[in-house]
Amino acid sequence: MVEDEVHEMVTRAVREAVDAEERGVLVRLDQGAIGWICQVSDWWPSEQANAAQTMIRSLRDPTAIPLLVALVTGARQMPPDCAQSLPYWCVEAATAIPGERTLAALLEVLTESSGNTTDLRAAVAEALGDRGDMHAIDGLRTTLTEIGSGQSDGEHRWLKVKTATALAKLGDAGGLAVAVDALGDEWAPVRWGAVQAIEVLRPPNAVELLSPLIHDPDARHDAIRSLAEVGTPEAIDVLIPLADDPDGDVAELCVMTVAKLIGLRVDHNAGQLPDRAGLAAAWQQIRQTE
């Protein structure tokens, strides 16, 4: 079976990477089981590549760290399709394995001098935020400064806001100014990232910052969800008028979101959702009883 073959090759690749580390030599990405994994990942999509993705993303044993480190930091040496998939699977796996070695490898990929794509660097920034290791803060701050004094294209602005979000997840507000500025960026993905950063940071004026985005056709769904996460009375007041929005999906999202926030039971299957007036009345009654 394909799964058995892939399991055997990944197991062998882990041993190869450990052996290379013990002998003090570089891991070769074009030889042995490791080379096989890189080749299979370049055949995307295929049954073997799917099986490799599943297994590599689920690696949690610390003995796999040398392999994950080699595959994350070696992205530039991989065939094109492989470089767009395999390193990302390894980043996901490495995020779940604690230890200084994986942290150092992720930070190495994050730096500009690594020569890696901004997309992979952004994935690493997000992983560092999710990892929850406070030792990543200095590296993330350095990246934020480095991008701020360098490139200003859309991809680097995206990386910048993802780095700011990662810092926010680690309790560092150093990226707040970056996130606020990015809310008005011309590129929609940057605005999406900025909305997420504001949601995580929760500055006192979060509702004021997010409110204009509910009218942004490319970011309004993200803004609505983030306002719901903020969940303050001011956020609810901003959301209620959207119950009558001409966009049916937006109106439904708003109704269900506000109903959940104020504890109003709504039967989504009944086919008749509350309108703006109904939500406003229910909300007013709740506030009067507080």
- Give residues with Cβ within 8 angstroms of 256, minimum separation 6: 266, 268, 273
Residue 273: predicted pLDDT: 76
User: For residue 133, which phi and psi values (nearest 5 degrees)?
Assistant: -90, 115
With cut-offs at 50, 70 and 90, classify the pLDDT of residue 151: low
With cut-offs at 50, 70 and 90, classify the pLDDT of residue 276: confident
DSSP code, position 16: H
Say if CB 279 and CB 266 are below 8 A apart.
Answer: no
Residue 153: predicted pLDDT: 82
Cα–chain center distance at 82: 20
- pTM exceeding the 0.75 threshold for the entire prediction: yes
Pull the structure tokens for residue 200.
């995580």
Q: Indicate whether 112 pLDDT > 80.
A: no
| Rounded average pLDDT over 226-237 | 94
Residue 115: predicted pLDDT: 77
| Rounded average pLDDT over 175-197 | 92
| Rounded average pLDDT over 211-233 | 95
List Cα–Cα distances, 50 to 40, 56, 238, 242, in angstroms.
9, 10, 44, 41
Dihedral in degrees, nearest 10, Cα atoms 149, 111, 166, 44: 120
3-state secondary structure of 166: helix
| Rounded average pLDDT over 172-185 | 91
Flag the least confident range among 14-23, 32-41, 104-113, 245-254: 104-113
| Rounded average pLDDT over 160-180 | 92
| Rounded average pLDDT over 270-285 | 82
User: For residue 102, which phi and psi values (nearest 5 degrees)?
Assistant: -70, -35
Q: Kindly report the length of the chain.
A: 290
Where are the strands (E) in 40-176, listed by range?
Answer: none
| Rounded average pLDDT over 225-243 | 94
DSSP code, position 203: -
Cα–chain center distance at 285: 39
| Rounded average pLDDT over 157-164 | 92
Pull the structure tokens for residue 250.
């937006």
- At 37, the amino acid letter reads I
| Rounded average pLDDT over 44-51 | 88
pLDDT digits (tens, 9 = 90+) for 59-69: 999 999 999 99
